[in-house]
């Protein structure tokens, strides 16, 4: 059982059904060349990684062979070294091979997101800053990737356009002022979290005075960012500050040490490079 609360099983199964449908089509003509006999397989990790994606991997194989036995040697969220055998499987050869690519695609992608997130979380350790994701996810895999961010130690930003209000320059322009935009948002969506993006220190002061749940200081240079932290710390109400835009791993620690509360990074889910995994028939080496 994962300690990270994956999406509901029906959502995982829907992801898997779509993946298998696009891969198998009318049937796996290559797997049909194999004898449909009992066989085993093992899942090998070929680089250092944070493991993520077990629910999707399992669902892929059980969709094609409900009797398959999957024995995991690692837990979700474990850091593993290159050469680690993550799991062994016992089932029928044809469905093991037919489910291989889809199951690996999920594991490679989600382990990549978890691994990158873990590196960013480690970079700010001890500063008090949280690493947040964004909505820049792979289409159709938002809940899966945001789960992977949690597995990597990060924190989810809003899930979509429905569960939080985020005011940006277009809203301010339409309302005539930042204060007016905040009032309109509160009137229309009084129960939703309100995040306000500011572009200047004057807007920051206005947002602090009007009140909201978080203030996003987007693309502030380092001196302006530090001044924003100082202003927010002396305000009558404590409102967390979030940094976004132009953040990379090399400069992450310095941003966190300025005293901001959150740093949101689209690259956690957008710039994924799949972790190198393979699924091979037969017993594991050694």
The helix (H) or strand (E) run that includes residue 232 is helix 222-233
Of 62, 135, 168, 270, which is the active-site residue?
Answer: 168
Q: How many CB atoms lie within 10 A of CB 286?
A: 5
The answer to whether 167 touches 195, Cβ cutoff 8 Å, is yes
Judge whether 13 counts as a catalytic residue: no
Of 136, 253, 270, 280, which is the active-site residue?
Answer: 136
What DSSP designation does 263 have?
E
Judge whether 94 counts as a catalytic residue: no
Q: How far apart are CA 203 and CA 61, in angstroms?
A: 53
The answer to whether 52 touches 77, Cβ cutoff 8 Å, is yes
Judge whether 136 counts as a catalytic residue: yes
b/e sequence 228-265, b meaning 16+ C-beta within 10 Å: bbeebeeeeeebebbbbeebeeeebeebbebbbbbbbb
Q: How far apart are CA 187 and CA 236, in angstroms?
A: 23
Of 13, 206, 218, 257, which is the active-site residue?
Answer: 218
Total number of residues shown for the chain: 286
Judge whether 197 counts as a catalytic residue: yes
The answer to whether 263 touches 130, Cβ cutoff 8 Å, is yes
Judge whether 46 counts as a catalytic residue: no
Residue 97: both structure tokens together = 């091979």
Of 47, 78, 101, 210, which is the active-site residue?
Answer: 101
What positions carry a catalytic annotation?
101, 136, 168, 197, 218
């Amino acid at each position: 059982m994962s300690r990270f609360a994956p999406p509901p099983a029906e959502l995982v199964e829907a992801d898997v059904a779509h993946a298998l449908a696009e891969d198998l089509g009318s049937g796996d003509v290559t797997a049909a060349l194999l004898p449909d006999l009992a066989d085993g397989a093992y899942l090998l990790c070929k680089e250092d990684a944070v493991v993520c994606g077990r629910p999707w991997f399992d669902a892929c194989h059980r969709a094609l062979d409900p009797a398959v036995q999957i024995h995991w040697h690692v837990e979700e969220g474990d850091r593993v070294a290159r050469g680690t055998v993550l799991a062994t499987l016992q089932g029928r050869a044809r469905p093991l091979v037919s489910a291989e690519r889809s199951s690996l695609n999920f594991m490679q992608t989600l382990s990549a997101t978890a691994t990158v997130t873990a590196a960013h979380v480690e970079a700010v350790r001890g500063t008090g800053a949280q690493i947040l994701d964004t909505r820049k996810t792979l289409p159709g895999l938002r809940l899966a990737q945001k789960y992977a961010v949690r597995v990597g130690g990060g924190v989810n930003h809003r899930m979509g356009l429905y569960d939080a209000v985020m005011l940006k320059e277009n809203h301010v322009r339409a309302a005539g002022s930042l204060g007016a935009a905040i009032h309109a948002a509160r009137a229309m969506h009084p129960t939703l979290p309100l995040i306000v993006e500011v572009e200047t220190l004057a807007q920051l002061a206005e947002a602090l005075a009007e009140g909201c749940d978080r203030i996003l200081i987007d693309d502030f240079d380092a001196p302006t960012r530090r001044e924003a932290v100082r202003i927010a710390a002396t305000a009558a109400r404590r409102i967390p500050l979030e940094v976004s835009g132009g953040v990379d791993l090399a400069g992450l620690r310095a941003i966190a040490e300025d005293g901001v509360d959150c740093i949101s990074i689209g690259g956690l889910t957008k710039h994924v490079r799949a972790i190198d995994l393979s699924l091979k028939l037969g017993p594991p080496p050694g």
